[in-house]
Structure 1
């Protein structure tokens, strides 16, 4: 039964990721962690993170010119990802989850009151470096940086393909750094590597289906879908933190 639950979680997460650019680790890792433990779940999902984000980057490559702040977000995120992975076994996941949920809900409330909110370049030139650092740190420590990146990049008001491309590039870089660091720390075993490769099967089947749907969504519907996903993510983060 456990394997069925894990495969279902990965499949659902892959579909959501195909639609919005994020969602795979947010959905899969908490469920896997409850069965396998946090460290093992994070390690197993790192390689699938590279594969799924690489696919989305390629699928949305035509939108690369419409992105913003990717270089600085990537550079600072790499530093954060290394630091976060090193403290993987010592991080207070419950505290991080609650703090992140509060940030997400605060942003959603602001957007609900100001639907056309857009973060101008003159502001993001200052905010992108610390956000990149925090997102990388979250990814390294918990395997989940999507909620923070999604919240921040949603404020850029990018077209859906550019938005998905931006999120996927960052997550691809973070996942790559994470895998290299995990390997360097000796956290990979033969069993964990095999589990990582097996996790690619449901992702390969379901991810393209979600991406196909995202291409058909109007921009306003896409942005609302992302907001709904953020609210759900925040609730899940709080519930998981309370349950411990």
Structure 2
């Protein structure tokens, strides 16, 4: 790999980790598409799986006291873990463009609803029915693409819970999705010594950027945090539309 390509990958991981520390999401959405340009999608997903487990575990511990206020977490997590296993086995068979288009459409609809009806909130009476299919779909996306963030961000954002509860909820679900994904990758021999080494090297920029983003998140007002989450969703939708129709 050329020095410039390596630098681009490191910067993408750094920026993604910073956004994750600030909003709870953003690392795979930013890092995997950039890495895939140089490494291919399958290798990029495999390399980022171990960092996904470790970064989310750290953030779950940090926000653990807010977990009791989360909603539908165990339903979302259980169905998502099953979906992650299926998605990982289908890593090389899913139509990436179709998945990108579907995800982009969901984000756009959610943003339109949000701006048209600023007070919209998905109530518990509704989410008890929507959480099982959403959890399964998010896990499937995690296993197949390494990126479940856009769907889970849209869904949990619609609950309109406090910043800390949102952060605790989303990183817990990401951790639950990442564990079976990584386990299957190891069990199927996808991790070679080189790919393990690449995963561990990816932790270097993450170890610097993640705490920095987290410190900034602590200082953000609820409104500013909300704006950052919306910005991540807009950027995700733009990238997914590009993947669906151009990439």
TM-score when scaled to structure 1? 0.98
**Aligned counterpart, 1:88:** 91
1:147 shift after superposition: 0.4
Match of 2:138 among 135, 139, 142: 135
Is this contact kept in 2: 1:53–1:171, CA < 8 A?
yes
Separation in structure 2 between the aligned mates of residue 216 and residue 112 of structure 1, nearest angstrom: 25
Match of 1:163 among 161, 166, 173: 166
Is this contact kept in 2: 1:16–1:23, CA < 8 A?
yes
1:223 shift after superposition: 1.4
1:229 shift after superposition: 1.2
Q: Deviations over 1:123-159 (max 9, x none)?
A: 0000000000000000000000000000000011111
In structure 2, the gaps of 5 or more residues are: none
The answer to whether structure 1 residue 178 and structure 2 residue 176 are counterparts is no
1:243 shift after superposition: 3.3
Separation in structure 1 between the aligned mates of residue 110 and residue 192 of structure 2, nearest angstrom: 40
In structure 1, the gaps of 5 or more residues are: none
**Aligned counterpart, 1:219:** 222
The answer to whether structure 1 residue 48 and structure 2 residue 51 are counterparts is yes
**Aligned counterpart, 1:116:** 119
Separation in structure 2 between the aligned mates of residue 241 and residue 68 of structure 1, nearest angstrom: 32
State which drifts further: 111-120 or 135-144: 111-120
**Aligned counterpart, 1:106:** 109
Separation in structure 1 between the aligned mates of residue 214 and residue 98 of structure 2, nearest angstrom: 33
Separation in structure 2 between the aligned mates of residue 110 and residue 173 of structure 1, nearest angstrom: 29
**Aligned counterpart, 2:246:** 243
RMSD of aligned residue pairs (Cα, Å): 0.8
Count of aligned pairs between the two proteins? 244
Separation in structure 2 between the aligned mates of residue 220 and residue 115 of structure 1, nearest angstrom: 12
Separation in structure 2 between the aligned mates of residue 225 and residue 192 of structure 1, nearest angstrom: 32
The runs of at least 4 consecutive aligned structure 1 residues that moved more than 6 Å come to none
TM-score when scaled to structure 2? 0.97
1:242 shift after superposition: 2.9
Separation in structure 2 between the aligned mates of residue 27 and residue 241 of structure 1, nearest angstrom: 16
